[in-house]
Structure 1
Amino acid sequence: MRRRLAILVGTTTSLVLVAFLIPLALLIRTFAEDRAVHAATVEAQSLIWVVANSDAESLDRGMRTNGLADRPVSVFLPDGTVVGEQAAPTDAVELAMLGQSLSAETPEGREILFATVDADGRTAVIRTLVTTEEMGRGVTRSWLILLLLGVALMAVSVLVSDRMAHSLVRPTRRLADVSHRLAAGEMDARATPEGPQELREVAGGLNHLASRIKELLREERETVADLSHRLRTPLTSMKLEAEGLNDPAEARRISASVAELERAVSEIIGDARRRAVETGVHPLPTSCDAAAVVRDRVQFWSVLAEDTERPVELDLALGPVPVRLIEADLAACVDALLGNVFAHTPDGSAIAVRLLAWPTGGARLVVADAGPGFAESTNGDTGPLRRGASGAGSTGLGLDIARRTASASGGTLSLGVSAWGGAQITLDLGPPTD
């Protein structure tokens, strides 16, 4: 912005200077010419009385010895005699001999001629020459002064415009800095109103927005805290009731389910409390051991698999297998995939979970089942991967969660057919960035 303003002011100033200095330079040259011609004219006119009252001999002696003029002057007498500066008669001299005073341009400059009468009453011509060098004397120096003046004015205008632009750019940059600090989560950042009235209004609006955002975040945290309290209370009650059941195995199973539900609720609340900002300052952990997470989640679902008579095959790479995901997100992804298997396959259907580690980093997670597989999509969309799409009465978010998890790690998700003819879901998870 500063450079653009400087260019704009410089261009405008240069146009003004050109429009002013060029006519002034031409005027100076014309003035110098007129001054030289006027001085020559005055000197030539001063000899008219001398020529009229002196004979040729006296006039020649006086012009040679006394210097009656400051510049070379020639007097052409009627008999062809030239007194003073010797010069050949020109066409202009011949014309002046007819009794007409005039001036004429020559290759050497401009000649000034006055027709007068000598002591005998005959016509004589007084001629003086103003050279081109004399007419241009002082013009070059004057032009140089004008040029230096123009350069100085241009420099001053650019400097003043740069200072003015700086007074605009500085508060604008400070406003941008405050907005970046707010985006980074520094909710106490405020802008100082400065600069023009418009920027002061923007600063006031930004401060009001920051205050409003801080207030909304405080209300959101209070709402999340209240939600946490309201959800954990019935979960605790369910856990206590489960521990009072007569069947120890049933009590353990229900208690484990309640504990898992409580863990899921805690993760959801924790996720709601995260600030949805993408900054490089104090980043959240972005990696976990995929082998440990998958093993833990398969063990959790194995209890339900045993109750529904589902064989579970688990093939894990030797850990640790770091991937670019936090533990909670990967666990939620595995839960969504295994939950889909239990929801959409009949009891007794086999399940296979395999985790392969890539030599270059990252891993491949494969979840396969012996169920009916995926229905063909006829809507021209992405079928089961479309958010909210389900043909079995569920919310249809399980595969979408898995897809977004794979994308967040820098990987992909693909659907296929398992060795049993059922569904197979393959997730390629990216390696950690640090």
Structure 2
Amino acid sequence: MRLTIARKIALAVIAIVVLCVGTMAWVTTSNLQRGFIAYLNEMQAQDLGQLRDLVQARHRREGDFDWLRRRPRALRELLDQMNPRIQAAPEPRRPRHPDDQFGRGAAPPDGAGGQRPEPTGERGPDRGGQGGGRERGPPPHPPGARDPMGFAPRVSIADADGLPVIGPREFPAGVSLPIVVDGKTVGRIGLSPLRQAAGVDSGASGFLRKQLNDILWLAALLGVGAILLSIWLARHLLRPIASLRTVTARLARGEFDARAPLVSRGELAELAVHINEMAQALQQSEQRRRKMLADIAHELRTPLTVVRGELEALLDGIRATDTGALESLHEQVLRVNQLVDDLHQLTLADAGELRYDWQRLDLGALALPLLVRYRTRAQAAGLELRWTLANDVMLRGDSGRLSQILVNLLENSVRYTSEGGAIAVTLTKLDGVAELLVEDSAPGVPDGVHERLFERLYRVDSARARTTPAGGGSGLGLAICKALLDAHGGGIAASASPLGGLRMLVRIPLDPNY
């Protein structure tokens, strides 16, 4: 059987609940037994006080402990006179053994067949007026009828000299009371405490057993209820996971329009939201990928179609094979080559495999030769190129990649700015960041499309069109600039220029050690 999350949670909850309920039942029963034994010992301590009073009265009458020494029957007679706080229900009478009317150690009467002779001793006729040296009295109760707690076997009495009168030679460590007669301590009486309630034949022990059984039954019922509730709760809590699993399976198959329903709250709801966001991002990425493939196919088809047409014209003799035809073919090949190079750079940048030669450099000193070179080209296009560069703009970067960024920006401005316009370049330092601003004059781009200028193969040809020998750029220059600036920890943003055209702001962190 496969252990699913629901089963694991159910088993974990069941184990915890069973452990808790079992521990509670064990602690409760243990405490109940200890408390019950302590209660019985407290009650019997009060019973011991009654027995002490009876022993004192009999000692006062007899004058010593000879009436009790080694005579358990005399102790039972005293116990019969007590009113114990805990008594057992009456038991049915059973046939007596001949020795039952005499205590353990008491002698049977003479003449009884096989009876033992009366033990001899110093004690003569009973001081109470009964002769024969035998104690005669009412027959005792059946064992256990008036002594449900096993009181008699645990009683110890010692005389004033510490000699045992009845009970074990070692005086018990439980409750101990002095026996005082006429103001004189003549001995001590003690009671060994109960250790456990097992075997106690009384209504109290029955009460204890009933309570323990009730606790065990309650623990069992709680355990069964916890098992059923754990199974239901695990299934209920993990039901949303089934829908999430279905959605993720559809996403794995490429169905990026799949969305997870928000059927709960909390962590699973947050997980469903994140899955939906991931699905939306994958869908948008897939749409961009398809659009980029279509755009690349279109970009490649245009020059290839021109090359094919030129070659067919040359083969058919429609066009003469001269320098102009070869230059046209070369121009289209260069255009295809530039597109492939740009795509290759973007692919390397996305994969993190584009190499950089990091070094400490002055951005102003790097930009100045490029601006001087492009001034000639701008003048040839009827444009004015001016610049203002701050000194000591030190940063860490790749000089070749940074030069490529500036060339792309200047190339766009020269290519798309109308004749008679201007291009302004400004380099400043502000709050630990180098800011390179490239602005040009009309035409500009429509509002709301500035952010899309950095999308791959996106061009606003209708707004910024210019007839050029190359027939326009590939639409990848600004995307390449953004990827290179991301690698340098910087960024680029487009907005409307006060000159009437486009404003490009490049921000690159300065070298903090400078």
TM-score range, shorter chain: 0.3 to 0.5
Q: Higher helix share goes to which structure? A: 1
Calculate the TM-score normalised by the size of structure 2.
0.36
Calculate the TM-score normalised by the size of structure 1.
0.42
Which one has a bigger Cα radius of gyration?
2
